[in-house]
Amino acid sequence: MKTDLKLLLPALRRFAYSLTGTMADADDLLQNTVLRLLNAPAPEGVPLAQWAFKICRNLWIDDYRAQKVRRQATQHVDLQQQNFSDGEQDMLNDIQLGEVNTAMNQLPDEQREVLSLVAVQGLSYAEAASILAIPAGTIMSRLARARTAMVSALQQHRSPA
């Protein structure tokens, strides 16, 4: 299980980041998820990835409910890079990442979860539906609304006021 868990960590960390919006909170969520996985392994017949994503999401929900202040913290874009270069492309990439991050943080939690699982993590609709314990049709509906909202938010941000 530990080997499988090591292979799953990067995807789980990206998922945690998409839920929390900051690397510090994502790392805390990832650590709590791994601790929970080590103390309560996946039930027999349940894939480790599915179990890990479900635990991560449930821990985030618990923390979200306990600390509603977290929502304000997710409005600030954390730059992941500590080494900045003078390149124009690096600056454009940072701006685009910030725009996408801001647009994602404006989505309702349900849409952001689905967008993260399907578009960022690359899970199938069925896998995402299983993790979130909702029908696949709901996944498709939330994903369509999330994509539409993202396009609209990015177009508004890029068009002059």
* CATH code where residue 90 lies: 1.10.10.10
**Domain carrying residue 100:** 84-161
- Considering only CA atoms, give the Rg of the chain: 17
Reading the block at residue 112, the tokens are 């952001």
As a whole number of angstroms, the distance between CA 59 and CA 91 comes to 34
Q: Are residues 103 and 38 in the same domain?
A: no
Please write the tens of the pLDDT for every residue from 148-157: 998 888 888 7
Q: Are residues 94 and 30 in the same domain?
A: no
Q: Are residues 63 and 95 in the same domain?
A: no
Q: Are residues 71 and 107 in the same domain?
A: no
Please write the tens of the pLDDT for every residue from 37-93: 988 888 888 888 999 999 999 898 888 766 655 455 455 455 444 455 556 666 666
- Number of structural domains (the chain) is 2
Mean pLDDT of the chain: 81
Final residue of a structural domain among 76, 103, 128:
76
Q: Are residues 59 and 93 in the same domain?
A: no
Q: Are residues 93 and 155 in the same domain?
A: yes
Q: Are residues 97 and 160 in the same domain?
A: yes
Q: Are residues 36 and 101 in the same domain?
A: no
Final residue of a structural domain among 76, 107, 136:
76
- Contacts of residue 146, defined as CB under 8 A and 6 or more positions apart, other chains included, come to 107, 111, 112, 114, 115
Q: Which band of pLDDT confidence, cut at 50, 70 and 90, is reported for residue 94?
A: low
At residue 160, the pLDDT reads 58
Q: Are residues 91 and 68 in the same domain?
A: no
Q: What is the mean pLDDT of residues 105-131?
A: 89
Q: Are residues 108 and 45 in the same domain?
A: no
Q: Is 133 left (phi over 0), alpha (psi -120 to 50) or beta?
A: left
Final residue of a structural domain among 20, 51, 76:
76
Q: Are residues 133 and 97 in the same domain?
A: yes
Reading the block at residue 10, the tokens are 């990067």
At residue 17, the pLDDT reads 92
Q: Are residues 92 and 156 in the same domain?
A: yes
